Each structure stands twice: as C-alpha cells, then as structure tokens.
Chain A
Amino acid sequence: MEIKILGPGCKNCKKFEANAVEAIGKLGIDAEVEKIIDIVEIMSYGIFSTPALVVDGEVKVSGRVPSIDEIMGLLRS
C-alpha cells in the first residue's frame, strides 16, 4: 500500500503524519508513508487545502486532520 501525506509542513500536517503513522502501526499493515511538501506536486492531486491523505493514488481526505480511528477505517477499506 502506498500512502502519501500532502502538506507544506504546517502544524496540522505534522499532526496528520503522526496520526497516520500511528494508524498504520495499529493496523499492522505493510505500508510506506511518503511526505509530499512540494506545492506543485501537491496541486497535481487537485486539492485546495492541506493536509491531505492519498492512498494508492486516490485522495481520501483533504483540508482537515482526521482522527487515528478515521484513518484506520480509510486504510482498511
């Protein structure tokens, strides 16, 4: 599973990343988390506010920080 976290490095982005890492740990899945901080690349996903979560090329969340439970749910489906 390929997981990307998009965000220029603001507070929310860091919180998002921490939540995502924790969610992956809890699920015990084999996934690689990549941080995308380049604004040009972020925009190529068609989102207008960060942070955002992209799983296997698909935008799952944008513009807010979801809870660990929510991320777990998103990664399971």
Chain B
Amino acid sequence: MWQRTVDWLTYGLLNLNKNSLFGGAVNFFIYDVIKIIFLLFVVVFGIAIIRSFLSPEKIKAILTNKNKYVGNVLAALFGIVTPFCSCSAVPLFIGFVESGIPLGVTFSFLIASPVINEIALGLLWSYFGLKIALIYVISGLTIAVFVGVIIDKLGLESWVEEFVYQIKVGKSANEAAQITFRARSKDAWAYTFGLVKKILPYIALGIGIGAFIHGYAPEDLLVRVAAKTNPFTVPAAVLIGVPLYSNAAGIIPIVTALISKGVPMGTALAFMMAVTALSLPEMIILRKVLKKPLLATFFGIVTIAIIFTGYLFNALI
C-alpha cells in the first residue's frame, strides 16, 4: 500500500523516470522515511509505556534475592526497556551492587541495556521485518545472560571501585507510585516524539547515503569484499563498529543498503551491535565504578560474544 503511494508520488507527481537511477533512489528514500518514522514511533512508544511500569527502584526490588540464573535472565529483560545513559548507568550500578544483587546479574543488565537498543529495533523491523528484529533481541539477550554468568564465575568483585561498596544508599524515595494510564501515555508520547525528532536528521542522512549506494554502488564490489566465505569480515565489521556510536541511528540505513548489495546478515548485525553496545562514552561512564581490568574484561567478552553472534547468523541465514 505504501509502496504504491510512494510510486505515485515519485513517478507520477514528481514525474521522475521509473527506470532511471535517480528516480529509483528518490523512490527508495521517500518510501524508507515514511516506513521508518511510523515503526520507530510504534517501538519507542511501546517501550516507553512498558518502562513507565518499571521504575529503577522496582527493578532493583525484583532482582534482589533472586536465584542467580533467573536473575541474569530477568536483568537482561529489564535492560531492554532501560536506555543506557550517563544519567542512569552509574547510579543503577551502585544501587544494584549495594542491595546485594550479584555482579554477574548487574552485568547482564548493563549489557542488555545498550546492546538492545529501541531505535535499532525499530529500524530493523522496518527494514527486515519482525522476524529479524526478534532475532536481534534474542541474540542480544543471550549475550547479556551469557556474559553475566561468565563474569559471575570469574569472581571479579574486587575489581569494582572500592567506594561503590562503601556507599550507603538512602531509603528509597517512592515518587509517583500511582499514575493514571493517561499520564503514562502522555509522558511516553512526549518521550517518543522528542527522541524521534532528535534522531531524524541522522536517519535522513543515513537513508540518503543508503539510497545513493542502492542506486549507484557496483554490486559485485561489496560482495567481493564482504563475502560470507571471508572469515575476517565479522571481526573487521565489529572493530569498525566499536568507535562509531553517536551515529547509531544513521548507520543502520547504510547497513541495510550494504545488505541489499550482498553483505551477509550476520556481519551486518554484528556491526550494528558493536555500534550500539560498545563505545568510548560508555567506557568513560563505566570507568567511574569499574577498575580498568574489569572494564577491559567486560569490553573483551562482549566483543567476542558479538563476533560469535555474527558468525552464528551467517551460518544460520
């Protein structure tokens, strides 16, 4: 339905040649913009509503005194709905550790939070459908649970900055215990609108570049460089992805175009996870509470897990 409207717009209203490269690129651009904005609103709004029911205080209460493995899974699930930012990561980490939640469980949360990114989820859904989007969520959850369990087994508690253990968290403030669904929706809507507005320029830029690649880049070039049979593409994609962070939203449309030109799905997903999950700003935030060896271990294990996921996807799809 959307495709027909967009076809009418580009080939009818704008009178572009259906068979020209430029016409194709414009059509691709308009169609993507409409679809992406719609699905982003759906995903971001949905997650914002779920989040309004799960305050950090509530999550902490649920995770306290849970069986370790159950705790890892729950923590990873909660991580999905919690955005990772400098405002929440450090206080949450301290709050978790202080209330006796095991370090491994805390890490499952810390990993899932940036790995499973609501914007990436919305974009994947709009480009590849719900199935791929769900696979992205499940592999992110698996990484979070798995790495959390490993960190727990390694017994790295002494590599957390000492001051974290000395902090006495004050009695929990119980702000806004009862709010109406109307108020929740209003807050969630404001959040969604603000977020989508903020990332829109990046998305437009990404789609623009994507449309260009879609129309112009020679197909066999990329296939030759990033073929499934080349074992180095997955680690290379991950290593390129780690320093890229701020443009996560804009990078995904480019990835899409790359996939349409023959880059394997697993390589592309690994690249995207590296972009969203590992970054320098994140490292700086976590350095406040983690000593360097633990920080390095954390980044190392997550990197390996992402590379592994990339190989797995390439083998499966």
Question: What residues of chain A lie closer than 8 Å to B94, measured between beta carbons?
Answer: 39, 43
In the complex, how many residues of chain B place their beta carbon closer than 8 angstroms to a beta carbon of chain A?
25
* A10 in the interface (beta carbon within 8 A): yes
A49 adjacent to B171 (CB under 8 Å): no
Across the interface, do B167 and A49 meet the contact criterion of CB distance under 8 Å? no
Residues of B within 8 A of A39 (CB): 90-91, 94, 288
- Known contacts being A10-B86, A48-B56, A63-B56, is A42 close to B91, with CB within 8 Å? yes
Contact of B88 with A46 in the complex, beta carbons under 8 Å: no
A47 contacts B87, CB within 8 Å?
no
Count of inter-chain pairs, beta carbons less than 8 A: 68
Closest to B86 in A: A10
CB closest chain-B residue, reference A48: B56
- In the complex, A48 Cα to B92 Cα: how many Å? 5
Out of B163, B168, B173, name the residue touching A47 (CB < 8 Å).
B173
Nearest CB of chain B from residue A70's CB, rounded to whole Å: 11
**Least distance between A19 CB and chain B CB atoms (Å):** 14
Mostly helix, strand, loop or mixed at chain B's interface?
loop
Tell me whether B170 and A48 are in contact (CB under 8 A). Answer: no
Contact of A48 among B85, B95, B163, B288 (CB under 8 A): B95
Minimum CB–CB distance for B278 against chain A, Å: 20
- Complex Cα distance, B187 from A13, in Å, reads 18
Docked pose: A8 CA to B92 CA in angstroms: 13
- Would you call B60 an interface residue if the criterion is a C-beta within 8 Å of the partner chain's C-beta atoms? yes
The verdict on A49 contacting B169 (CB below 8 Å), with A13-B87, A42-B91, A59-B175 known, is: no
B173 touching A46 by the CB < 8 A rule?
A: yes
Partner of A43, one of B60, B88, B95: B95
Chain A interface residue count, Cβ-Cβ cutoff 8 angstroms: 25
The digit string for B147-181, where 1 denotes a CB below 8 A from any CB of A, is: 00000000000000001000111111101000000
User: Does the CB pair A49–B175 fall under 8 Å?
Assistant: no
Contacts of B60 in A (CB 8 A): 48
Residues in B with CB closer than 8 Å to A63 are 55-56, 87-88
Does any Cβ of A come within 8 Å of B220's Cβ?
A: no
Are A45 and B170 CB-contacts (below 8 A) given A7-B87, A62-B175? yes
The reply to whether B175 and A61 form a contact with Cβ atoms under 8 Å apart is: yes
Query: Are A43 and B91 neighbours in the complex by a CB distance under 8 Å?
Result: yes
Q: Which residue of A lies closest to B289 (CB)?
A: A39
Is A44 within 8 A of B175, CB to CB? no
Task: Tell me, in angstroms, the Cα distance from A9 to B175 when the chains sit together.
Answer: 22
The answer for the CA separation of A24 and B170 in the assembled complex, in Å, is 27
Indicate whether A59 sits within 8 Å of B173 (C-beta atoms), given known contacts A7-B87, A8-B87, A43-B167.
yes
Q: How far is the CB of A18 from chain B (nearest CB, A)?
A: 15
* Distance between Cα atoms of A39 and B60 in the complex (Å): 18
Name 8 A/B residue pairs within 8 A (Cβ), A-sorted. Answer: A39-B91, A39-B94, A43-B170, A44-B169, A46-B169, A48-B95, A62-B173, A64-B187
10 nearest CB pairs, A to B: A59-B173, A48-B56, A46-B170, A49-B88, A10-B86, A48-B95, A46-B172, A50-B87, A10-B87, A44-B170
Given contacts A46-B169, A63-B87, 14 further A-B contacts (CB under 8 A): A7-B87, A8-B86, A10-B85, A39-B91, A43-B98, A44-B168, A44-B169, A45-B170, A46-B173, A48-B55, A49-B88, A49-B92, A59-B173, A62-B173
Interface residues of B, Cβ cutoff 8 Å to A: 55-57, 60, 85-88, 90-92, 94-95, 98, 163, 167-173, 175, 187, 288
